[in-house]
A and B are shown apart, each in its own frame.
Chain A
Amino acid sequence: DIVLTQSPGTLSLSPGERATLSCRASQSLTSRYFGWYQQKPGQAPRLLIYDASSRATGISDRFSGSGSGTDFTLTISRLEPEDFAVYYCQQSGGSPPEITFGQGTRLEIK
């Protein structure tokens, strides 16, 4: 089974700073099926990035994704107050297909 490990567990930054979140897979992934979600307290997750680097509909260009193989990154270029949330990476694949999430990175205001 593929395991996704996110780092850091918690990231403390100030508005206006740049955030870099990492996700490492236990085996090489097909980028076609790797994405990132944002979740705020009491809300359902929201898709931010799919296919490792494509922004979902309505997502600010401050969010960007990169990576391939086993190492993927979510970058938020200039943090806004509404960006402070928990972020999850996700991969899908296999036969039969399954979806796996990382354990999450909490982005908090410093």
Chain B
Amino acid sequence: QVQLAQSGAEVKKPGSSVKVSCKASGGTFSSYAISWVRQAPGQGLEWMGGIIPTFVKANYAQKFQGRVTITADESTSTVYMELSSLKSEDTAVYYCARDREEYGLYYYMDVWGKGTTVTVSS
């Protein structure tokens, strides 16, 4: 049974960066896409981008291009999401989630982490 364990809550200043980790256990890592989805307080879900670790190259939503970097470390089965130039509007819960299909290009996410709360405040 695959599980995704995310790093702990973060409090950041506007203009800084945050790096959140997502460690997979209990299943195959490299061939499944891991996406990052965020949810601002009281709002809906927003896909930020993802990576299939064995392919190395990440894909990003247009809205976050240039501000988000998603990387993977196959040796530790961990995916990272770094968001830069933080604004108060980036305050949200950030989820990592694994794609349902092996080598699936961001189709459906059927395993989710518990979420990491990122608060951006001066």
A→B interface (CB under 8 Å): 1, 33, 35, 37, 39, 44-47, 50, 56-57, 88, 90, 92, 96-104
Task: For the complex formed, measure the closest distance between the CB of B7 and the CB atoms of chain A, giving whole angstroms.
Answer: 15
The size class of the interface chain B forms with chain A is 20 to 34
Q: Is the C-beta of B55 less than 8 angstroms from some C-beta in chain A?
A: no
18 residue pairs A–B, Cβ–Cβ below 8 Å: A33-B107, A37-B45, A44-B112, A44-B114, A45-B37, A45-B45, A47-B100, A47-B108, A47-B109, A56-B110, A90-B45, A92-B107, A92-B108, A97-B105, A99-B47, A101-B45, A101-B46, A102-B44
* Cα distance A46–B37 in the bound complex, in angstroms: 13
* Cα distance A62–B59 in the bound complex, in angstroms: 35
Residue-wise, chain B 91-122 has the 8 Å CB interface mask toward A (1 for contact) of 00001010010000111111011110000000
Contact A99 B35 (CB under 8 A): yes
**Residue of A35, A97, A101, A103 ringed by the most chain B CB atoms within 10 A:** A97
Contact A56 B100 (CB under 8 A): yes
Contact B100 A103 (CB under 8 A): no
* Cα distance A20–B92 in the bound complex, in angstroms: 29
Contact A99 B106 (CB under 8 A): yes
**Interface positions of B from 25 to 68, Cβ below 8 Å from A:** 35, 37, 44-47, 59, 61-62
Contact B44 A103 (CB under 8 A): yes
* Cα distance A98–B64 in the bound complex, in angstroms: 12
From A37, which residue of chain B is reached at the shortest CB distance?
B45
Given contacts A44-B113, A92-B106, contact A98 B47 (CB under 8 A): yes
